[in-house]
Amino acid sequence: MKIRTLSPRLIIALLLIAVPVTAAWATTRDEAEQAIAEAKAMREKAAAAGVEGSMAGEMIKEAEGLLPSRQYTRARQIAYWAIRQDEFAMQALSGDITPAAEDKAAVAEAMIKDAEAARERAASVGGEWRDVGGLIKEAQTLAGAGEFDKAIDAASTAKFQSERGYEQALAERNADFPDYMRK
């Protein structure tokens, strides 16, 4: 069986094709700044409409804080969520939300409260897992943006991890090193 090696020309040709394609997926600083500017404009529009208690302002600050560390894609995503939060809050204020959305909103809020309670229970025995706080914050953000299905999923995951963390902490509470490890 004869093994062929790739010629240097073929490798260079593949790289010339692959590098521009991957660059198309990346978010540039300009795109992130544009998304943040759109979020700020929506925030002003929502504030003028009388929307209060939205997390959008905090999210815009968080997105701006990501720019120096070149996390442009994440900054754009957070700015998008801020826009969705204000859009949803304006719809709620005008009464344009359907009853089904209100039901999902109630389910999402209940799941977030359950997840937070489970997190506190796990933390009380030293069993809070690393990602739970972030999942709860993400669920709150998504619920505020009107993306209730995703919020319910995130809150459900946080609750599950909190329950497993609590069980793990209790199971390992009296664990000790075996005798052969102490020698």
CB atoms within 10 A of CB 106: 11
Lowest mean pLDDT among 9-23, 63-77, 92-106: 9-23
Q: How far apart are the C-alpha atoms of 159 and 8, rounded to whole Å?
A: 53
pLDDT given at position 120: 96
For residue 23, the model assigns a pLDDT of 45
Average per-residue pLDDT for the chain:
84
* Per-residue confidence (pLDDT) for residue 61, from 0 to 100: 92
Lowest-confidence range among 65-74, 107-116, 133-142, 169-178? 169-178
Nearest to 127 by CA among 168, 157, 158, 173: 168
How many Cβ atoms sit within 10 Å of the Cβ of residue 168? Answer: 15
Q: What tens digit of pLDDT does each residue of 13-48 get?
A: 666 666 554 444 567 889 999 999 999 999 999 888
Per-residue confidence band for 49, with pLDDT thresholds at 50, 70 and 90 = confident
Lowest mean pLDDT among 38-52, 70-84, 141-155, 165-179: 165-179
Confidence of residue 92 (pLDDT cuts 50, 70, 90): confident
Domain layout of the chain by residue ranges:
27-96, 98-173
- 29-34 — which CB contacts under 8 Å span 24+ positions? 29/67, 29/70, 29/72, 31/72, 31/76, 32/63, 32/66, 32/67, 32/72, 32/73, 32/75, 32/76, 32/79, 33/67
How many Cβ atoms sit within 10 Å of the Cβ of residue 28?
12
